[in-house]
A and B are shown apart, each in its own frame.
Chain A
Amino acid sequence: MKTDPVLQTFIIESSENVQEMENSLLQLETSPDDEDTINALFRAAHTIKGSAGIVGIDNVERFTHIVENVLEQVRLGEIKVTGDLIGLLLKCCDHIGRLVDILSEGEDKAGNPDLEFEGQSIMEQLTAYIVADKDDLPSAQKDTQGVAGERKEISSDNRMVETGNWHISLKFSRDVLRDGMDPLSFITYLSKLGEIAGLTTLHDAIPDAGEMDPESCYLGFEIDFRSDSDKQTIEDVFEFVQEDCEISILPLHSENKADPPVVGAAPEKQEQIKAFKAKEAKTIRVDTNKLDQLINMVGELVIANANIDQQAQRIRDNSLLESASALSRLVEDIRDRAMKVRMVPIGETFNRFKRVVRDISRNTGKDIELVISGGDTELDKGVIEKIGDPLMHLIRNSADHGIEEADERLALNKPGKGTIRLNAFQETGSIVIEVSDDGRGLNRSRIMNKAMERGIINPGQSLSDREMYDLIFEPGFSTAQKVTKVSGRGVGMDVVKRNIETLRGSVDVESHEGVGATVHIRLPLTMAIIDGFMVGVGPLFYVIPLDMVVECLELSEADRQASLKRNYADLHGKVLPFLRLRDLFNEQNGRPPYEHVVVVQYAGRKTGLVVDELHGEVQAVIKSLGRVYKDIKGVSGATILGDGTVALILDVPGLVQTAKRMRKV
Chain B
Amino acid sequence: MKVNAEKNNGLCRLQIEGEMTISAATELKKSLLDNLANCSELEIDLSQVSEMDTTGFQLLFLVKREASLLNKVFRIISHSPKTLSVLKLYNMKDFFES
Residues on A lying within 8 angstroms of B by beta carbon are 133-138, 140, 142-143, 177-178, 182-184, 187-188, 191, 198-201, 203, 206, 209, 212, 214-215, 217-219
Contact = CB atoms under 8 A, between A and B. Distances in A.
Interface string B60-72: 0110011000000
B66 A209 contact: yes
9 contacts: A134-B85, A138-B85, A184-B53, A184-B54, A184-B86, A206-B65, A209-B33, A214-B58, A217-B54
B12 to A, nearest CB: 16
A214 B26 contact: yes
Given A136-B88, A203-B61, A215-B25, A182 B51 contact: no
Contact of B85 (A136, A182, A209, A212): A136
Nearest to A200: B91
Contacts of A206: 58, 61-62, 65
B22 A177 contact: yes
Contact of B90 (A137, A191, A199, A217): A199
Nearest to A212: B62
Given A178-B22, A215-B22, A138 B89 contact: yes
A405 B44 CA distance: 65
B25, B54, B58, B81 interface centre (most CB from chain A within 10 Å): B54
Contacts of B90: 184, 187, 199, 201
Contacts of A214: 25-26, 28-29, 55, 58-59
A178 B53 CA distance: 12
A204 B62 CA distance: 11
A201 B25 contact: no
B26, B58, B62, B88 interface centre (most CB from chain A within 10 Å): B58
B40 to A, nearest CB: 17
Given A135-B81, A135-B84, A136-B85, A182 B65 contact: no
Interface in B1-53: 21-22, 25-26, 28-29, 33, 51, 53
B26, B53, B92 interface centre (most CB from chain A within 10 Å): B53
Contact of B89 (A142, A187, A215): A187
The A interface is mostly helix, strand or loop, or mixed, namely: loop
B82 interface: yes
A134, A184, A214 interface centre (most CB from chain B within 10 Å): A214
A137 B85 contact: yes
A22 B82 CA distance: 31
Given A133-B81, A178-B22, A212 B29 contact: yes
Nearest to B61: A203
Chain B, interface size category, equals: 20 to 34
A142 B51 CA distance: 8
Contact of B54 (A140, A183, A191): A183
A227 B44 CA distance: 37
A143 B53 contact: yes
A183 B24 CA distance: 18
Contacts of B58: 203, 206, 212, 214, 217-219
A170 to B, nearest CB: 12
Contacts of A209: 33, 62, 66
Contacts of B62: 206, 209, 212
Given A188-B89, A214-B28, A133 B54 contact: no
Contacts of B26: 214-215
Contacts of B85: 133-138
A184 B25 CA distance: 16
B5 to A, nearest CB: 18
Given A201-B92, A209-B62, A219-B54, 10 more contacts: A142-B53, A143-B53, A183-B54, A198-B91, A199-B90, A206-B61, A214-B25, A214-B26, A214-B58, A215-B22
Nearest to A139: B85
Pairs A-B, 7 closest by C-beta atoms: A214-B25, A138-B85, A214-B29, A199-B91, A133-B81, A201-B90, A142-B53
A199 B65 CA distance: 20
A178 B61 CA distance: 19
Nearest to A199: B91
A135, A183, A209 interface centre (most CB from chain B within 10 Å): A209
Contacts of B65: 206
B88 A177 contact: no
Given A214-B58, A215-B26, A219-B54, A138 B91 contact: no
B52 to A, nearest CB: 8
